[in-house]
Amino acid sequence: MYEKTATDGIVLRKRGVGEANLRVAILTREFGLVVASARAARAEASKLRYGLEPLTSARFCLIRGRHEWRVTEAHGIRPLGLSAQSGRIAQLLLRLVHGEEKNPQLFDEVSEGLRALAATKEPHAEAIECVLVLRILFALGYLPHTQALAPFIEGGFSIELSAKAIESRSLLVRTINESLQMTGL
């Protein structure tokens, strides 16, 4: 018998498979990036239907099968807001995170950052996106902890932080681009 595991997660991508099945990429707190299947999740009567939308946060019940993970339940479903910035964050995570590796710091930063993005209006949204990308790169080990970047990597997301990020935008974008170039992806 297979063991059921409950974990918090954020759906980054979903793809239809066959007539009613789905394959979803979920960033989880305990397992990192998990690619799982969900049977009949696109069916009209499916309870999972709305819990597996991209950029949705929930508590997922997963079963590790012989060859793949399966999603069986989703509780506490919270949409994180669809925006261009959130979509770019999801694409970046899919590009940089490979395999199942526990990284609670990354999950917490992404979760908090996506909620901040959803609650922020346009002039500050791009600044929050820059800060979130910096924090993702730092959590994955692609950025060193420097004095210049410390205010952007530490602490919570706030209007004051986004105001600082707007002032230092050129430094942040240059640092992000250099880091992404070094990843070779």
The topology (CATH level 3) of 4-79 is OB fold (Dihydrolipoamide Acetyltransferase, E2P) (2.40.50)
Quote the distance between the C-alpha of residue 83 and its chain's center. Answer: 13
CA distance linking residue 14 with residue 36, whole number of Å: 10
pLDDT digits (tens, 9 = 90+) for 49-65: 888 899 999 999 999 98
User: To the nearest whole percent, how much of the chain has pLDDT over 70?
Assistant: 99
Q: What is the pLDDT of residue 1?
A: 58
Question: What pTM was computed for the model?
Answer: 0.90
pLDDT digits (tens, 9 = 90+) for 62-111: 999 888 899 999 998 898 887 888 999 999 999 999 888 899 999 999 99
Sign (positive or negative) of CA dihedral 103, 105, 108, 111? negative
Phi-psi region of 99 (alpha: psi -120 to 50; beta: other; left: phi over 0): left
CA distance linking residue 140 with residue 123, whole number of Å: 27
Q: Could you give the angle at the alpha carbon of 94 between the alpha carbons of 90 and 97, nearest 5°? A: 120
Which has the closest alpha carbon to 163: 125, 118, 111?
125
Which has the closest alpha carbon to 64: 6, 20, 5, 108?
5
Phi, psi of 72 (to 5 degrees): -110, -30
Which residues partner with 9 through β-bridges?
28, 58
Judged by DSSP in three states, 100 sits in: coil
- Sorted by where each begins, the domain ranges of the chain are 4-79, 84-183
